[in-house]
Amino acid sequence: MWDWDYALSILPRLLGALKVTLYATFWGFLLASVFGLLLAVLGRSRVKAIRMAVFGFVEFIRSTPLLVQLFFLFYSIPLLFGFSMTAFMTGVIGLGLHYSTYMSEVYRSGIDGVEKGQWEAARALNFSKARTWTSVVLPQALPPILPIMGNYLIVMFKETPLLAAITVVELLTTAKNINSMDWRPFEPYTIIGLLFLVISLLVSLLVGIMEKHLGKRHTR
Amino acid sequence: MSLTMEEQAKQVSVGSVNKVPMVKYTNVMKSFGDLEVLHGIDLEMQAGEKIALIGPSGSGKTTIGRMLMTLEEPTSGTIEVEGEHLWHVEKKGRLVRASEAHLHQMRTKIGMVFQHFNLFPHMKVLGNVTEAPRKVLGLSKEEANDRAIEMLRKVGLADKLDVYPAKLSGGQKQRVAIARALVMRPKVMVFDEVTSALDPELVGEVLAVIKEIAEEGEMAMMLITHEMDFAREVADRVIFGAEGHIVEQGPPEQIFENPQSERLQSFLKRIR
Ligand SMILES: Nc1ncnc2c1ncn2[C@@H]1O[C@H](COP(=O)(O)OP(=O)(O)O)[C@@H](O)[C@H]1O
Ligand SMILES: [Mg+2]
């Protein structure tokens, strides 16, 4: 059933597609991290309208499936706004926005873990708002949540096959294409399964090491 | 050196500016939700004056200090620092809530040391003391280091520059916190029960440092404390508050030897 020669022959194509998957994961995660932080910070704004807007956005994104969001971005944005993006860019933005709402929650937990006295000391020393975030709050809020962020990286990586639905030629699409050409489903799907497995395990190994390292850091 | 009349007049007026109180609370009330914790506080501090704020816990001492540090906003009434409103600005003859920029500018004159130190755990001792001079005052790294080391020497911790706060004793932490506040050169500083969280054997070293700073004289100090001997020794004036009122105030000898009000008498009896 399993043909090694055939498997090796399709491997280069699959590895090429893996690159697309990894790029999408990387850029999506970067966007989710940056935008999630923005949501977390704005979610603590003194202005109620801003807080409400953030809350509304987060709830809306979380209450609709990522797949629907991807379709919406891909097919409706060009109709509504008259410009279109590449499928890859659409996918990155969809992944990034979707996961930013989860990341903002992760950031929030980290920020809530910073003692009230730290904010007060910053104010007593006359730090500006921005300086309080960058000098005092985030350096304490981020390290404890890095492992959780790492886990979201894995989750997001495993969600990238959804991009197949909007014509991004990533791993799944490539496996499908190979199958429809050669009528051999076994090798391509097995290989991409293994690729997902190996990379996920690798990242979670790194997260574990990071977690151990963080545990040893100086504490209060 | 001879002065013209005009210059003399200027000097006199500068002299009278100095008579403007360093801090002045006028009918300050504070509520948390439905709970009114300060019922109209009037309080003045002169430049360089050391006052001790004593009273039972829950009487509102911390709140008085925190309002000066702009950590808590008065519900009504005004606080002035060197004749300028802290929480307000005048617009068309009316007082309106000041902007963050105004508060920022006013805070340059005010400092605070907290009961629980609130050191930055992710920065070494030197970093704790240099961060604000560098990032708020805009000093160069060298200038900030020089200033910080001078202050850390003053509190006896010049040998701990490279240590994280977690490695320090409570007394050492509090002395770093004092250096961190001093390095900003405030004109008035709030010390809120700075020895209450310390093991008894560490209280002395912190009080000694504060005493030394007090003896230097220039900075006005609001010492919120339960250490009566300390209050007596350091304060120019002692203020006794209870249940959100200032009940009695006067020079330490009078407050401790000859208390007038029954509340103060029973308070002093209880803590002795
Ligand atoms: N942030 C707050 N929210 C609600 N109540 C508060 C808050 N801060 C202080 N209080 C209440 O205000 C009163 C005065 O507190 P505080 O100023 O800390 O007194 P003291 O320092 O004299 O012990 C207390 O009853 C306290 O419970
Ligand atoms: Mg108190």
DSSP B115: T
d(CA B110, CA B71): 12
**B174 pocket-lining for ligand 1 (C-beta < 6 Å):** no
Query: Which distant-in-sequence residues (6+ apart) come within 8 Å of A134 by Cβ?
Result: none
**B13 pocket-lining for ligand 1 (C-beta < 6 Å):** no
Determine, yes or no, domain membership for B132. Answer: no
Determine, yes or no, domain membership for B245. Answer: yes
Q: Which of B112, B164, B167 sits opposite A124 (nearest CB)?
A: B112
Q: Whole-prediction pTM value?
A: 0.89
Q: Which of A117, A124, A135 sits opposite B116 (nearest CB)?
A: A117
Tokens at B204, concatenated: 């002395």
Contact at 8 Å (CB) between A83 and A46? Answer: no
Ligand 2 midpoint to CA B62 (Å): 4
- Our mutation pick for probing the ligand 1 site, out of B28, B30, B32, counting the most ligand atoms within 8 A of Cβ, is B32
Query: Which residues of chain A are within 8 Å of residue B122 when distances are taken between CB atoms?
Result: 139-140, 218
Among positive and negative, which fits the CA dihedral B130, B136, B142, B147?
A: negative
By 3-state DSSP, what share of chain A in percent is helix, strand and coil, each rounded to 5? 85, 0, 15
From the number of C-beta atoms within 10 Å of its C-beta (0-12, 13-18, 19+), residue B248 rates as buried
Contact call for B121 and A219, based on CB within 8 A: yes
Tokens at B102, concatenated: 């105004």
Query: Which distant-in-sequence residues (6+ apart) come within 8 Å of A196 by Cβ?
Result: A157, A158, A171
User: Largest alpha-carbon pair distance within chain B?
Assistant: 62
Q: Which of A117, A129, A139 sits opposite B122 (nearest CB)?
A: A139
User: Largest alpha-carbon pair distance within chain A?
Assistant: 72
Tokens at A207, concatenated: 């997260």
**B225 pocket-lining for ligand 1 (C-beta < 6 Å):** no
As a whole number of Å, the CA-based R_g of chain B is: 20
Question: Among residues 114-143 of chain A, which lie with CB inside 8 Å of chain B?
Answer: 115, 117-118, 120-121, 123-129, 131, 135-136, 139-140
**pLDDT tens-place string over residues B99-109:** 999 999 999 99
Closest listed ligand to the CA of B30: 1
Determine, yes or no, domain membership for B126. Answer: no
Domain around B231: 3-109+186-271
A4-219: CATH superfamily: MetI-like (1.10.3720.10)
**pLDDT tens-place string over residues B111-153:** 999 999 999 999 999 999 999 999 999 999 999 999 999 999 9
Contact at 8 Å (CB) between A32 and A100? Answer: yes
Nearest to A146 by CA among A193, A211, A64, A84: A211
Q: Which of A126, A140, A219 sits opposite B132 (nearest CB)?
A: A126
| Alpha-carbon separation of residue A214 from A108, A110, A121, B127 (angstroms) | 19, 14, 25, 21
Kindly report the CA angle at B219 between B217 and B220, in degrees rounded to 5? 105
CATH of the domain at B244: 3.40.50.300
Query: Which distant-in-sequence residues (6+ apart) come within 8 Å of B235 by Cβ?
Result: B50, B51, B52, B223, B252
Q: Does A59 touch chain B (CB under 8 A)?
A: no
| Alpha-carbon separation of residue A186 from A1, A13, A164, A173 (angstroms) | 8, 16, 19, 15
Determine, yes or no, domain membership for B130. Answer: no
- Decide: helix, strand or coil at residue B205: helix
Determine, yes or no, domain membership for B86. Answer: yes
Dihedrals phi, psi of B238, to nearest 5 degrees: -115, 135
d(CA A173, CA A178): 9
d(CA B19, CA B37): 30
Determine, yes or no, domain membership for B155. Answer: no
Helix pair angle (A4-42, A138-159), 10° resolution: 140
> How large is the average pLDDT for residues B28-53?
96
Nearest CA to ligand 1 atom 18: B62
Mean pLDDT of chain A: 94
**pLDDT tens-place string over residues A79-112:** 888 888 899 999 999 999 999 999 999 999 999 9
Inter-chain Cβ pairs, chain A and chain B, closer than 8 A: 65
**pLDDT tens-place string over residues A160-171:** 999 999 999 899
Tokens at A94, concatenated: 């969809």
Contact call for A120 and B116, based on CB within 8 A: no
Tokens at B55, concatenated: 């009273």
Number of neighbouring beta carbons within 10 Å of residue B205: 18
Tokens at A213, concatenated: 């390292």
pLDDT on residue B15: 47
Tokens at A138, concatenated: 């985030």
ipTM score assigned to the predicted complex: 0.90
pLDDT on residue B13: 47
Q: How many domains does chain B have?
A: 1
Confidence of residue B237 (pLDDT cuts 50, 70, 90): very high
d(CA A54, CA B153): 48
pLDDT on residue B249: 96
Beta bridge partner(s), residue B188: B110, B220
Give the residue extent of every domain in chain A: 4-219
Determine, yes or no, domain membership for B160. Answer: no
Dihedrals phi, psi of B10, to nearest 5 degrees: -60, -45
How far does A220 lie from chain B, in Å, by closest CA? 5
Determine, yes or no, domain membership for B234. Answer: yes
